[in-house]
Chains A and B, each alone.
Chain A
Amino acid sequence: MADSMTLRDCTPNLKRPAKSANLPDRSRPLVLFGPPPLMEGEDTQAYDELLTQISTAVRPADILEDIWVRDIVDLVWERFRLRRLKANLMTASAVQGLAKVLEPFMGPCDAEDLAKEWAARKSRAIKRVDNILAATGLTMDAVMAQTLALKLDDIERIDRMIGLAEACRNAVLREIDRHRETLS
């Protein structure tokens, strides 16, 4: 997993499942939940690992808990995806942010050319950018701040989506707790 989120974040302090003799046979494959919601280039094995880890932590006791576990996995996966997207978007857009920072010192065209060479990791360009930033008392933080300003709408949208996924995951966890308490 590229994300630093731990399993504890996904399943905090859940009550242990209540034992019930009237539950249906749960050894049947849960094909009813459909395929995992993976996008192009995403790792099926990593998704399966996450499913196994969360299932082990939650220990679903009936099909309703299986449904919730699948919800949690999908929401955690979506959160990972969005956090990755946010980080990658900032990295991919840093060239625009750098061009904007360099603009007052060399004009828009030269700044854009230098930023492109810097993004292509050309050593001469990297050195020149470092020198300009040092001479003007700026750091890469200024570049990232400029990048954030340029991509603020996108970043805000992604943050909102992350927030929704987290809220939804927490609601599911509360429902599992309530369900176990009702049947205990």
Chain B
Amino acid sequence: MVSFASSKTNRLSGARRSDQRAQDESNLANARLSTGPKSTEGRTRSAKNALRHGLSRPVRASPIFSEEVEALAFEIAGTDASAETQELARRIAEAQTDLRRVRYARHELLSKALADPDYESRASLKAKYELLVPYTQNTGLVTPVPDEIIRILDWRPEGPLKLATILSDMAQMLSAMDRYERRALSLRKFAIRAFDAVRSRAVAAVRPNASDH
């Protein structure tokens, strides 16, 4: 980051250079001010972010996933594989297992919400609460609530409305999971390319011998 800023500054001259430097310093000062939560509560909450779905934990850290990785790596490498091929196969297997874990987590999140008959969005709950407020104010006692209000309170989204509501409510969480998925996909892609390159070299090395016979 620093080297990028300095090279950018080098390309500029005179007054623009000093303006750029002032801007860089100002950006840096602002960045120092926004380094995450300050309060103890905020820091505690932020520390738990990664634990909500556990997806930042490497698959190697879990004995169950490790077993899966080894089994898949063996399937990929095949028998009589060299140490290099085995290692590359393991990298593919790790990325694939990670990918499966992310997709499973997302699927579970959506499926559980869909299967919950009482599922309701926060916005809807808030609106219903506000609807009830006039009937509970002042006296603290619940006065008879009209049937029309009861019907609204009992209403839950169903079918396509429910899934659309869930997707909307969980947009942030799903977007975080998408990032994990893209990362795992990228790792898998490059691991497979490296694996293919080694396999291709091995095949090329065998071919001249084969043509001798």
| Interface residue ranges, A against B (CB under 8 Å) | 20, 22-24, 28, 32-34, 37, 39-40, 63-64, 67, 74, 85, 88-89, 91-93, 151, 153-154, 157-158, 161, 164, 168, 171, 175, 178-179, 182-183
Interface pair B168/A182, CB less than 8 Å apart: no
B contact patch SS: helix
Contact with A along B171-213 (1 / 0, CB 8 A): 1000000100000010001001101110110110000000000
Contacts of A32 in B (CB 8 A): 68, 71-72, 75
19 CB-based A-B contacts, threshold 8 Å: A24-B75, A24-B76, A28-B75, A32-B68, A34-B100, A37-B104, A39-B107, A39-B114, A40-B115, A64-B76, A64-B192, A89-B160, A89-B161, A89-B164, A157-B167, A171-B189, A175-B189, A178-B193, A183-B199
Interface flag for B103 (CB, 8 Å): yes
Given A24-B78, A92-B159, A175-B189: A154 touches B199 (CB 8 Å cut-off): no
Contacts of A183 in B (CB 8 A): 196, 199-200, 203
Whose C-beta in chain B lies nearest to the C-beta of A20?
B203
Given A39-B114, A175-B192, A182-B200: A85 touches B75 (CB 8 Å cut-off): no
Interface flag for B153 (CB, 8 Å): no
Whose C-beta in chain B lies nearest to the C-beta of A179?
B196
Given A39-B110, A179-B196, A182-B200: A23 touches B78 (CB 8 Å cut-off): yes
- Complex Cα distance, B168 from A157, in Å, reads 8
Contacts of A93 in B (CB 8 A): 161
Given A40-B111, A64-B92: A24 touches B164 (CB 8 Å cut-off): no
Contacts of A40 in B (CB 8 A): 111, 114-115
| Interface residue ranges, B against A (CB under 8 Å) | 68, 71-72, 75-79, 92, 96, 100, 103-104, 107, 110-111, 114-115, 159-161, 163-164, 167-168, 171, 178, 185, 189, 192-193, 195-197, 199-200, 202-203
Contacts of B178 in A (CB 8 A): 164
Rounded to whole Å, the gap between the CB of B70 and the closest CB of chain A is 11
Contacts of A64 in B (CB 8 A): 76, 92, 192, 195
Given A33-B100, A89-B160, A92-B160: A154 touches B168 (CB 8 Å cut-off): yes
- Complex Cα distance, B147 from A115, in Å, reads 21
Given A34-B104, A39-B114: A63 touches B167 (CB 8 Å cut-off): no
Q: Which of A23, A37, A74, A91 has the most CB of B within 10 A?
A: A37
Q: Which of B76, B92, B163, B168 has the most CB of A within 10 A?
A: B163
Whose C-beta in chain A lies nearest to the C-beta of B108?
A37
Pairs A-B, 5 closest by C-beta atoms: A88-B160, A24-B78, A89-B160, A154-B164, A182-B196
- Complex Cα distance, B203 from A117, in Å, reads 71
Whose C-beta in chain B lies nearest to the C-beta of A74?
B103
Whose C-beta in chain A lies nearest to the C-beta of B115?
A40
